[in-house]
Amino acid sequence: MILQNCNKLADHTLDVITTKNLTYTYPGASKPSIQDVSININKGDFVILTGPSGCGKTTLCRCFNGLIPHFYNGTLDGEITVANLSVVSHKIYELAQHVGLVFQNPENQLFALSVEKDVAFGLENFGMPRDEMRKRVDWALQMAGISELTERPPHELSGGQQQRVAIASVLAMQPKIMILDEPTSFLDPLGAEKIFDVLNNLNKELGITIILVEHRLDLAAKYANRVVVMDKGNVALAGTPREIFTSEKARLIGVGIPKVTKLYQHLKKNGLKLRNVPVTTQDIVNLLREILKDA
Amino acid sequence: MLEVKDLHYTYSTGLEALRGINLTINNGEFLAIMGQNGAGKTTLVKHFNGLLKPTTGTVLVDGINTRDVSVAKLARNVGFVFQNPDHQLFSETVEEEIAFALKNFGFEESVVTKQVDWALNLLDITEYRKTSPFMLSGGERKRVALASILAWDPNIVILDEPTIGQDYQQKEKLQQFIMQLNAQKKTVVVVTHDVEFVAECNPRVILMSKGKILVDGIAEEILTDPKTLIQASIVPPQITQIFLALTDLGLPSNVIDVHEATKIILNRLRGKL
């Protein structure tokens, strides 16, 4: 199902992000919000970007799609390329063909008079033929679970519904890189899981690079191959979910270790060491089953 | 005390958001309202401070019918922290934001200063007192919104999705803080999707779906009943999920706490480690 309408995504050679000593200061701010960030995101990665509130995650995401420096002004130093394009010398609309950003607050993103128009807006700007646009919009609405909201004005919807509209409007563009800033914060748990499943499918089946800003690692860990931890405007740690969840440094920074991994740690402290560090509930269920079945 | 009697609410668009809610929240109680998006949770709590008035039915706050008094009057007793802090914040600096309501309630300057300092410190935002709320991150803005309500010390505190956008450490602090409010005999009503948060606080929980209350009980019962949870689009906490998957090995299904989980597993293995 997810593969339909996606034949235009064959070229994945461009979907990569590289920054080198990236430093940015908002206009009027006394100190940089991100400082000397050097990071490589590979094509096909599913990255969770996490770290304490105010550590610069959202600022970094705004650099990835060119909102910084083109919209926010301020002072940007260092290098950043997205899909082989220098962010500084390419306009937002050029970058938007490769990278889609779902904002933390959906109200900052929605503006049209109907859900459908909001979701179609980006495609219209690309001059997509009407038939194809129709298909894309329907697909995106269905993926985000809001087909029944097509005609509703976005500003009348609940926070969770608005968040789905914001996700659908980026999904419709089928960018090679999707950046989502706490995209499910207003959603009920089942709704959040469905959105994560959609992202996971886009990532695994179509090779779309996903960058997910998320505090709730309990929910997101099973989908990601990398976790990047930011602290005080810097990248403090990067690794696989397993590496990060068992890292003392991550704990000290205040990364929320999933309950699954916590249970592992509590058991270990009490003398029961499972033979592997679990990251998902399925991991620990399998490990516990092995040792409990004979007990 | 909050008393809700046969409350129905229909928006001007014709959307029937609440369809017969009956609920009593006693003084000093800690209640979490959970349920799917669009279930009517926020609509319900907006009745608690009179922001919305019932289409039919009644809402009594400490015996006063919310139809008979202004929101401003109710606000002294009922503090409401919005889901989206941007709906609430408007001042030039964090400090002014927090002082605003206190001044409106007519507190003396010295009391205002004291309460502002107290709230800034409580929510760990003292360093931002002279900063514009709109320069802050989403999580920080949420804390400013909280501080501005708690500063005037209302008896009933309603928090709509307090943990959204909060990092782990802030969430832990917030959780301790909410428990502390409750320990001071304040009535705390939290609208939340955060099952892990609810599992750790173990409050009274109501699950809502389609404008009605599905079930009312304590967290430990409700979060471990997957059949009911699914009707409200809630997924059980991770610890419960693990235990539910292992019931065939004779493990109990009603576990929500990581310490209890550890104990149960170790007990099963006693003598074999």
**Per-residue pLDDT tens over the stretch B98-139:** 999 899 889 999 999 999 999 999 888 999 999 999 888 777
- Predicted local confidence at residue A110, as pLDDT: 81
> Is residue A69 reached through a cis peptide bond, with omega within 30 degrees of 0 on the bond before it?
yes
Contact B269 A292 (CB under 8 A): yes
Contact A284 B242 (CB under 8 A): yes
- Predicted local confidence at residue A2, as pLDDT: 44
ipTM of the complex: 0.82
- Predicted local confidence at residue A12, as pLDDT: 45
- Domain coordinates in residue numbering, chain A: 9-98+175-253, 111-173, 258-295
Q: What is the CATH number of domain B1-77+156-163+186-223?
A: 3.40.50.300
3-state secondary structure of B167: coil
Half-sphere exposure of B118 (CA within 13 A, CB side): 13
Distance from CA of A201 to the nearest CA of B (A): 20
Contact B138 A58 (CB under 8 A): yes
Amino acid at A154: P
What's the CA gap between B233 and A117, in Å, rounded? 28
Among A158, A232, A260, the strongest candidate for a mutation testing the B interface, having the largest count of B CBs within 10 A, is A158
Distance from CA of B255 to the nearest CA of A (A): 12
Q: Could you tell me if B252 and B268 are in contact, meaning their C-beta atoms sit under 8 angstroms apart? A: no
pLDDT band at B184 (very low <50, low <70, confident <90, very high): confident
- Select the more confidently predicted residue: A59 or B171: A59
How does pLDDT run along chain A (295 residues), one tens digit per residue? 444 444 444 344 555 899 999 999 999 889 999 999 999 999 999 999 999 988 999 999 999 999 999 999 899 999 999 999 999 999 998 998 899 999 887 877 788 889 999 999 888 888 889 999 999 999 999 988 899 999 999 888 877 788 889 999 999 998 999 999 999 888 888 888 888 988 998 899 889 999 999 988 888 999 999 999 999 999 999 999 999 999 999 999 989 899 999 999 999 999 999 999 999 999 999 999 999 987 7
In sequence order, the β-bridge partners of residue B233 are: none
Among A215, A251, A260, A289, the strongest candidate for a mutation testing the B interface, having the largest count of B CBs within 10 A, is A215
- Predicted local confidence at residue A126, as pLDDT: 81
- Predicted local confidence at residue A184, as pLDDT: 86
Is the pLDDT at B1 greater than 90? The verdict is: yes
Q: Which residue of B has its CA nearest to A213?
A: B165
- Predicted local confidence at residue A144, as pLDDT: 87
Structure tokens at A287: 């490990």
- Predicted local confidence at residue A11, as pLDDT: 47
- Domain coordinates in residue numbering, chain B: 1-77+156-163+186-223, 237-273
A186 to chain B: which residues are within 8 Å by CB?
Answer: 37, 83, 161, 164, 193
What's the CA gap between B259 and B188, in Å, rounded? 25
Structure tokens at B149: 């309500």
A289 to chain B: which residues are within 8 Å by CB?
Answer: 246, 249
Among A218, A259, A273, A292, the strongest candidate for a mutation testing the B interface, having the largest count of B CBs within 10 A, is A259
Q: Which residue of B has its CA nearest to A279?
A: B238
Q: Could you tell me if B76 and B154 are in contact, meaning their C-beta atoms sit under 8 angstroms apart? A: yes
pTM for the whole structure: 0.85
Which residues, at least 6 apart from B240, have a Cβ–Cβ distance to it below 8 Å? B199, B223, B224, B253, B254, B255, B256
**A259 closest CB neighbour out of B139, B230, B237:** B237
- Predicted local confidence at residue B134, as pLDDT: 86
- Predicted local confidence at residue B273, as pLDDT: 60
A187 to chain B: which residues are within 8 Å by CB?
Answer: 37, 193
Query: Domain spanning A9-98+175-253: which superfamily?
Result: P-loop containing nucleotide triphosphate hydrolases (3.40.50.300)
Amino acid at A285: V
- Predicted local confidence at residue A13, as pLDDT: 54
